């Protein structure tokens, strides 16, 4: 295909503003499916975790045809914790679609992803999505987007952005709100007219910057990137310039282009195409494929530093090795090394004093997704409480701060402000209307650790909170996270209903009857400060006498089911989360002092 007939666009937006759904509809509109073909919803969210959570975690590539053009689409994550993905894949795009919810307007992650696109001077088409919502206010949303561009110091030519109104769910786009609803052709016309064709020439030496990594069990590692110079064909001898500047020879064994969300093998690819390339197993994000006779490496992308770290250590509990397939420190090392090849926002360093690794990332969600992926792959290990990464400047200790936006019913504003005040948050603005309030805070990253579940409880599940990294600022002192102690098991045993019945008045329980536990494991939360040593296997004493009511059934209060994120947020410095494919357990770091209680 001619280079002038290719368009490379990234779709950027806040979480849940409809990126992946709109992509599905563009594929259908482009005639990429048969009329009788059954198509899964959110086709680009192919990962099991993405489908469960309804969010995009890793950037995806796809394409569709409109008239005689091929439009390559890059579907990006909306959550700031996966900002490393956004930064990388925007390098492959020649323009961006900025999706904004017609009711909510720009949100914190909209600010984040737009900032990255403007830094690369990408032309932007604004799509006001979900105009079919009953409470949609599209004109207001456009005004808010314009204000956001101004805040980000966008140049004048980008401030004059085109606007398209759309309903991704219903598969239509219109230029004006009073236009007749038909299909997505108005949006496709804007893409062809407003987004430039890829730059570069097929006569130049080969240049492909690897922006993401895929893996095939048959071909090994695949480098994905845009051809910015020259052309590619199979069996071609090339060199790969690594991130450290070293040069390694390679031969291209396969070249894939993206059709819908599938990879299709081709013999050759032209300048401007987005392709996946096999033939070099050591390739990482930031490497350059180039010509051996005219080596021209491209500069690797700059990545924002991580703000949160956790320790990943081998499991040493009494139940170690029972449920996992990969349990040793070497297994952990190999898996984490594989992860940092593809995720450049992740940093892994060995722990000096003991076996294990310090893993640093963008936020709690970034790290918990990695833990959940490893757990499902058969890994068994333990993690510590998340710690923020401090900096020092001019003798002062600095810590990361987030810009936190909260939308909540006015009835819950008081409790939210009280809790955030305890977490050292500083309110910036507060707007109210129609019974709802929007609060914007600057809050230390430490202050948000474990706050989401507490926030949802306080607002009866009706509040919405979003945050994005703001800056490093002065350390604000100690923050107290948990005011209550833990119920700690005194022996290895199996939990018994009678014992749990007697314990439920002492706090809230995390485990049901019939569960194997060990000395030092946490079985619940004490209702007071300080840890309580308990025996969850204490059974009813048998006697020859029968008292009235002694044989009544034991009635247990439903236990609190703790998700992985809940467990990570709950633990203190002296506690660990034990992660296995079958179970997630809370435990004390030191196990051998609880049996004498």
b/e burial code for range 359-393 (CB count within 10 A of at least 16 → b):
bbbbbbbbbbbbbbbbbeeebbbbbbbbbbbeeee
Collect all residues with Cβ–Cβ distance below 8 Å to 332 and sequence separation of at least 6. 312, 314, 326, 356, 357, 379, 381
Going from the C-alpha of 308 to that of each of 208, 357, 358, the distances in angstroms are: 32, 14, 10
Q: Is 288 annotated as a binding residue?
A: no
Question: Contact 347/357 with Cβ under 8 angstroms?
Answer: no
Q: Is 408 exposed, middle or buried (0-12, 13-18, 19+ CB in 10 A)?
A: buried
Question: Which pLDDT belongs to residue 31?
Answer: 64
Q: What is the pLDDT of residues 220-257, one digit of tens each?
A: 888 888 999 988 888 889 999 988 888 999 999 999 98
Q: What is the pLDDT of residues 336-354, one digit of tens each?
A: 988 887 777 789 999 877 7
**What residues are paired with 150 via a beta bridge?**
none
**What residues are paired with 489 via a beta bridge?**
534
Question: Which pLDDT belongs to residue 82?
Answer: 54
327 has pLDDT over 60: yes
Poorest-confidence range of 67-81, 90-104, 385-399, 406-420? 67-81
What is the full DSSP assignment across 405-474? EEEEEGGGHHHHHHHHHHTT-EEEEEEEETTEEEEEEEEEHHHHTTHHHHHHHHTTT--EEEEEEEEEEE
Q: Is 156 annotated as a binding residue?
A: no
Structural domains present in the chain: 3-194 (3.40.50.300), 207-290 (2.40.30.10), 308-388 (3.30.70.870), 391-474 (3.30.70.240), 486-588 (2.40.50.250)
Q: Is 378 annotated as a binding residue?
A: no
Nearest to 285 by CA among 6, 122, 73, 59: 59
How many other C-beta atoms are found inside a 10 Å radius of the C-beta of residue 83? 25
Per the prediction, the chain carries an average pLDDT of 84
Poorest-confidence range of 76-85, 124-133, 311-320, 516-525? 76-85
Helix, strand, coil percent values for the chain (each to nearest 5): 25, 35, 45
Task: Name the maximum alpha-carbon separation found in the chain.
Answer: 97
* Mean pLDDT of the 288-299 span: 89
Question: Which pLDDT belongs to residue 44?
Answer: 45
Coil vs helix vs strand at 569: helix
Q: Is 19 annotated as a binding residue?
A: yes
Question: Which pLDDT belongs to residue 13?
Answer: 81
21 has pLDDT over 90: no
497 has pLDDT over 80: yes
Q: Is 16 annotated as a binding residue?
A: yes
Q: What is the pLDDT of residues 136-160, one digit of tens each?
A: 899 999 999 999 898 888 888 888 8
Q: Which helix (H) or strand (E) holds 314?
A: strand 308-314
Q: Categorize the per-residue pLDDT at 78 as very low, low, confident or very high, splitting at 50, 70 and 90.
A: low
Rounded Cα distance, 309 and 16, in Å: 27
How many other C-beta atoms are found inside a 10 Å radius of the C-beta of residue 64? 22
Q: Is 129 annotated as a binding residue?
A: yes
Rounded Cα distance, 238 and 235, in Å: 9
* Mean pLDDT of the 357-386 span: 90
Q: What percent of the chain has pLDDT over 90?
A: 30
- pLDDT: is 39 or 593 the higher one? 593
Q: What is the pLDDT of residues 28-71, one digit of tens each?
A: 887 654 444 444 444 444 445 544 554 544 556 888 888 889 89
Rounded Cα distance, 114 and 146, in Å: 12
């Amino acid at each position: 295909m001619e280079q002038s007939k290719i368009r490379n666009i990234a779709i950027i937006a806040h979480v849940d503003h409809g990126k992946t759904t709109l992509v599905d509809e563009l594929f259908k509109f482009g005639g990429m499916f048969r009329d009788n073909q059954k198509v899964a919803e959110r086709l680009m969210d192919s990962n099991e975790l993405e489908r469960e959570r309804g969010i995009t975690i890793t950037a995806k590539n796809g394409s569709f045809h409109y008239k005689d053009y091929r439009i390559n689409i890059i579907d990006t994550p909306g959550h700031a914790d996966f900002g490393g993905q956004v930064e990388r894949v925007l390098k492959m795009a020649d323009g961006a679609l900025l999706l904004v919810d017609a009711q909510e307007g720009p949100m914190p992650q909209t600010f984040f992803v737009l900032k990255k696109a403007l830094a690369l001077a990408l032309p932007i088409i604004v799509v006001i999505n979900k105009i079919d919502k009953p409470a949609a206010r599209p004109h207001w949303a456009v005004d808010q987007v314009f204000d956001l561009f101004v805040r980000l110091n966008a140049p004048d030519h980008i401030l004059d952005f085109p606007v398209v109104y759309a309903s991704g769910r219903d598969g239509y786009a219109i230029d004006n709100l009073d236009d007749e609803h038909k299909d997505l052709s108005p949006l496709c016309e804007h893409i062809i007219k407003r987004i430039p064709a890829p730059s570069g020439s097929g006569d130049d030496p080969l240049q492909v910057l690897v922006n993401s990594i895929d893996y095939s069990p048959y071909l090994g590692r695949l480098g994905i990137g845009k051809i910015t110079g020259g052309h590619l064909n199979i069996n071609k001898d090339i060199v790969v310039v690594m991130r450290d500047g070293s040069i390694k020879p390679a031969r291209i064994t396969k070249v894939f282009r993206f059709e819908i969300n599938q990879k299709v093998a081709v013999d050759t690819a032209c300048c401007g195409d987005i392709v996946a390339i096999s033939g070099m197993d050591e390739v990482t994000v930031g490497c350059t494929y180039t010509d051996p006779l005219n080596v021209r490496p491209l500069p690797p992308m700059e990545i924002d530093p991580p703000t949160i770290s956790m320790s990943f250590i081998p499991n040493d509990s009494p139940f170690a090795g029972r449920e996992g397939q990969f349990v040793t420190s070497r297994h952990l090392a190999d898996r984490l090394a594989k992860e940092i090849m593809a995720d450049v926002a992740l940093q892994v360093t060995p722990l000096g004093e003991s076996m294990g690794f310090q893993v640093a990332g963008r936020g709690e969600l970034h790290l918990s997704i990695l833990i959940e992926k490893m757990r499902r792959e058969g890994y068994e290990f333990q993690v510590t409480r998340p710690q923020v990464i401090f900096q020092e400047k001019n003798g002062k200790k600095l810590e990361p701060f987030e810009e936190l936006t909260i939308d909540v019913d006015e009835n819950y504003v008081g409790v939210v402000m009280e809790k955030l005040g305890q977490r050292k948050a500083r309110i910036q603005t507060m707007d109210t209307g129609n019974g709802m309030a929007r609060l914007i805070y600057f809050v230390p990253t430490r202050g948000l650790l474990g706050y989401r579940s507490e926030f949802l409880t306080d607002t009866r599940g009706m509040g919405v909170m979003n945050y994005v990294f703001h800056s490093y600022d002065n350390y604000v002192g100690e923050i107290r996270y948990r005011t209550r102690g833990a119920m700690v098991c005194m022996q290895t045993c199996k939990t018994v209903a009678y014992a749990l019945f007697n314990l439920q008045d002492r706090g809230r329980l995390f485990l049901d009857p019939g569960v194997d536990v060990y000395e030092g494991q946490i079985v619940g939360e004490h209702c007071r400060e300080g840890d309580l040593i308990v025996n969850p296997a204490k059974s009813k004493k048998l006697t020859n006498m029968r008292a009235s009511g002694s044989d009544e059934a034991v009635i247990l209060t439903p236990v609190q089911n703790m998700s992985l994120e809940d467990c990570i947020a709950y633990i203190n410095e002296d506690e660990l989360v034990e992660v296995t494919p079958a179970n997630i357990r809370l435990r004390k770091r030191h196990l051998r002092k609880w049996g004498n209680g």
